[in-house]
Structure 1
Amino acid sequence: MELFDQFLNTVRETVNPATQPVAVSIVRDGAVAEGKKIRVRGQRLAICQQIAYSRMYGWSTWTDQASAHCVLGAACAGLIAPPARVLDGSVNTGIYQKDQAAAAAMQQAMPRLPAGTAGVLTTPLARPVEGIAPDLVVIYLNAAQAMRFVQAFLYREGGTFVMKSSGDAGVCSRAVAQVYLSGEPAVEIPCLGDRRFAMTQDHELCVGIPLGWLERTMEGLAATHKAGIRYPVPFQIPAGCDLPPAYITAGDDC
């Protein structure tokens, strides 16, 4: 909890996102959630909707195989094995891709956890459920705030931050599944479903951070902030700006 508090304080001081950072737990043994106080349980929800409840309302949520509503999100999180209609591209054909071959190519490249997840738990990072450790953190940001996180990710070792996107299944495939599998942070463009059903706004991006990266992300945010890289980005305000002549103070103004 001390690490989470330090991370949250650093994020608030340096970036101050509009909604709360969300802890995501990929739970393999459903018994650990029995008897736990979880605000939203038993409703049919997509992963993006779970995260919306947690980041916007501060509620904890739980979905399992019986209550996962979106087939793409459920497959990405390992709640179900991806059905044939997903893997062969039928679900996307004529919508996101022009033909089934293209749709299958996209679906087969999408990060997914192996089936066997008992449940997906989301909570505000500030209030994790006791006894269930988060695996990763998801934060929704505008483009300038996401830039600050990329700078933080590169602070220790430099290099290049590589962002991948499918234009579909955004938060569940990249910010959750990819982060969980790779142990590396990700920045993703939220998908249509996230915007339509989970209230994500036009300007928002999502950032996924594995738990093992919290300390170095916090370090990078704090150090670059101290060095003068700030959000909001301060404008350079010119002296003697170009006003219409009648607006400029004259020597006989008093």
Structure 2
Amino acid sequence: MNVKELNQAIQTYVRTDSFPVGIKIVKAENDLPERTKRPMRDFGYQITICQAVGFSRRYGWSIAMNGSDLSCPIAQVAFGYEPQLPFYTEGNLACGMYTDSLEAGAASEQDVPKLSAEESGYYVSYPLDRATVEPDVVVIYGNSAQVMRLVAGMLYKRGGSIPSTFSSRADCADIAIKPLQTGEPQVIVPCYGDRLFAQTQDHEMAFSFHYRDAEELVEGLAGTQKGGVRYPIPSFLRYQAEFPPTYQKLNQLFAEKGENA
């Protein structure tokens, strides 16, 4: 299955209102896809990883970035651009904002998925319908019903459930790194930064998966559609409505009028 076929299937079965996004870690600058924008070079400022995904899913832009383009210190560590300094590992970034102690903050930082410096590279995001290379990971934003639809599609052949973890921060690592490391799809509750910096809306969630699962997902979307699991969710309308007493009284008068005619 190619990327364009995957994109078409998502639009057919899930009908997202922003572009599905491919994410790829590219080692060498010479291997970056054509027409990718570099934040410092093309915008004149650094951005966050979640902003890169936002540009791709809302503007249709391809973004390529490394540590020099990245403003978020948590992502600098998570994506292997900077080392885990003691100030970070001790929990100072989380403490006072997300946790009430350094110990809890340290546990939160330890839990963030991370790439090593050797695994790191240019973080590239792009809309699937304009892909020129196969992604490592795909992320799809949507409402809860659309994410449910994707979960149903992914489980069509394998059954069971999809385990995911939620922490309210660093969802960029959960979206991209966790599927790379575990091979498993992820349901994403967008983090605070994703909402603040990338304008992710209150009604939105996300679903990410390793690209090697693309064909399984598409087959599952088609199979569940055939079985009756669809989006938009059908509404059950085949019932007789019940009205307030005054409405019922008028209907009764209509009936009595007809009987006396």
Identity in percent? 31
Aligned to 1:235: 235
Aligned to 1:195: 195
Q: Among residues 46, 54, 57, which one is paired with 1:55 in the alignment?
A: 57
Q: Among residues 68, 71, 74, which one is paired with 2:70 in the alignment?
A: 68
Q: Which amino acid aligns with 1:211?
A: Y
| Superposition deviation, residue 238 in structure 1 | 3.7
Moved more, 231-240 or 133-142: 231-240
For the pair 1:165 / 2:153, whether they are aligned, the reply is: no
Q: Which amino acid aligns with 1:7?
A: L
Question: What is the CA deviation profile of residues 34-62 of structure 1, one whole-angstrom value per residue up to 9, with x for unaligned ones?
Answer: 8x321344241111000000000101111
For the pair 1:97 / 2:99, whether they are aligned, the reply is: yes
Structure 1 Cα separation of the partners of residues 169 and 39 of structure 2: 25
Question: What is the CA deviation profile of residues 130-157 of structure 1, one whole-angstrom value per residue up to 9, with x for unaligned ones?
Answer: 4x43111111111111111111121112
Aligned to 1:141: 142
Aligned to 1:120: 123
Matched residue SS, 2:146: helix
Does structure 2 retain, via aligned residues, the 8 Å contact 1:189–1:206? yes
Does structure 2 retain, via aligned residues, the 8 Å contact 1:77–1:176? no
Structure 2 Cα separation of the partners of residues 9 and 65 of structure 1: 33
Change (3 A) 1:3 1:33: closer
Structure 2 Cα separation of the partners of residues 76 and 140 of structure 1: 21
Q: TM-score, normalised by structure 2?
A: 0.88
Q: TM-score, normalised by structure 1?
A: 0.91
RMSD value, Cα = 1.9
Report which of the two has the higher share of helix.
2
| Superposition deviation, residue 169 in structure 1 | 0.6
Structure 1 Cα separation of the partners of residues 87 and 121 of structure 2: 22
How many residues in Structure 1 have an aligned counterpart in Structure 2? 248
Aligned to 1:37: 35
Moved more, 195-204 or 180-189: 180-189
Structure 2 Cα separation of the partners of residues 71 and 229 of structure 1: 41
Does structure 2 retain, via aligned residues, the 8 Å contact 1:21–1:137? yes
Structure 2 Cα separation of the partners of residues 197 and 207 of structure 1: 19
Aligned to 1:23: 22
Does structure 1 retain, via aligned residues, the 8 Å contact 2:3–2:134? no
